[in-house]
Amino acid sequence: GSQQTKEKNCLQVCRHLQTSLAFLIMYTPTFILGLLFNVMALSFLFFPAKKLSESAVYLIALIFLDTLLLFTLPFKIVSYHLQNKWKFGSMFCSILESLYFINMYGSILISLCICVDRYIAIQHPFMAPALRSTKKAALVCAVICLGISAGTVSTSQFHEETYNISSCFHNFSKSTWENTGLIISLEMIFFGSMVAMAFCTIQIIRCLRNHRISENLQTHMTRAEKVVVTNFVTFLVCFTPYHVTFFLYFLERNSIMHVPCHTVLRDILQVTLCWANLNCCLDAVCYYFVLKESAEASLQNKTLSQG
């Protein structure tokens, strides 16, 4: 019996070391590259000072949310290294978990806004001046940020103990996984955004291609198409694996669905969560197209004013 216990403990230690190493390997480049891309994007947006477009406003909000999430990654690495020995206090843990989990859904909603904004500008050009402006874009971003901030209340229930918690970012309480309303709300935010973005992206591409055909123009992909396609592909690649696994794990934890190996599904959930954080780096592709478009529009306006 003692030999089996020793072997079991040894396997747990080995598994913990492997998991910690995997997180270190995945999160370190995500943190460094994500921070670098976000700082570069902000510098291009504000220096030299120029009038911001609607897309640039949404971009600033996305950079802000991505940066807040990036801030939590070093602590997430430390939390897995200090398994069940969290020493930084329950309040700080609650703040970190709020920034990590809630801002992910802020990024999802901002990505949706970028797509819808493009859809209105291209599909409904006559209505666009009344519906789009930098002030309205800023207001939408503010509402989203306030909305996800209100959602931080739910993170206070992630652990059984209110004070002196022993772990952070994992070992969530049973009541958290039994909170059907919370889980369904998060899943609806993702899948609802996915459906809306798919519709807008398809309509934008169809509208632009029909315009090129009617005008006998070249058929290569325009920058407007690249922005929405890049935004949507990044959204799908980063967030879909996690939300599918998250829902399956929720079903398994509540005995709605039986999974032969519980620990494997839990490990897959953690891996897909790491993968979702790559969004902070892949957003840089969208930054590139939006910033290039903004720079060209600014140059064009300057040329016209001089002329």
Query: What residue segments make up the domains of the chain, in order of their start?
Result: 2-301
Confidence of residue 84 (pLDDT cuts 50, 70, 90): low
User: What pLDDT score does 279 carry?
Assistant: 84
The pLDDT of 252-277, averaged and rounded, is: 79
Longest dimension (CA), the chain: 88
pLDDT at 239: 92
The pLDDT tens digits for 214-230 are 666 555 566 677 778 88
Asked if pLDDT for residue 204 goes beyond 80, the answer is: yes
Residue 295 confidence (pLDDT) above 50: yes
pLDDT value at residue 192: 95
**CA nearest neighbour of 61 among 109, 27, 28:** 109
The pLDDT assigned to 210 comes to 79
The set of residues, in sequence order, having a beta carbon less than 8 Å from that of 72 and lying 6+ positions away, is 96, 97, 99, 100
pLDDT category at 304 given cuts 50, 70, 90 is: very low
pLDDT tens figures, 31-82? 888 888 888 877 776 665 556 778 788 888 888 888 888 888 888 877 777 6
CATH architecture of the domain formed by 2-301: Up-down Bundle (1.20)
**Higher local confidence (pLDDT), 142 or 253:** 142
Structural tokens at position 122: 């291209």
Instruction: Report pLDDT for 143.
Output: 92
Q: How far is residue 208 from each of residues 99, 123, 129, 195, 287, measured CA to CA in Å?
A: 38, 9, 19, 20, 21
What spatial distance separates the first Cα and last Cα of the chain, rounded to whole Å? 88
pLDDT of amino acid 79: 78
Q: What's the whole-number mean pLDDT along residues 294-298?
A: 57
Question: 144-200, pLDDT tens digit by residue?
Answer: 988 887 777 666 666 665 555 667 777 676 777 777 888 888 899 999 999 999 999
Percent of the chain with pLDDT over 90: 13
- pLDDT tens digits for 34-43? 888 888 877 7
Report how far residue 23's alpha carbon sits from residue 188's, in angstroms, rounded to the nearest whole number: 28
Top-confidence residue, 146 or 263: 146
pLDDT at 164: 57
pLDDT of residue 242: 92
The pLDDT, as a whole number, for residue 188 is 93
| Model confidence at 5: pLDDT above 60 | no
Q: What is the Cα 296 distance to its own chain's centre? A: 28
With contact defined as beta carbons under 8 Å apart, do 95 and 130 qualify? no
Q: How many CA atoms lie within 13 A of 147 on its CB side?
A: 16
User: In 3D, which of 135, 131, 137, 119 has the Cα closest to residue 58?
Assistant: 137
CB within 8 A of 80, min separation 6: which ones?
16, 19, 20, 23, 169, 170
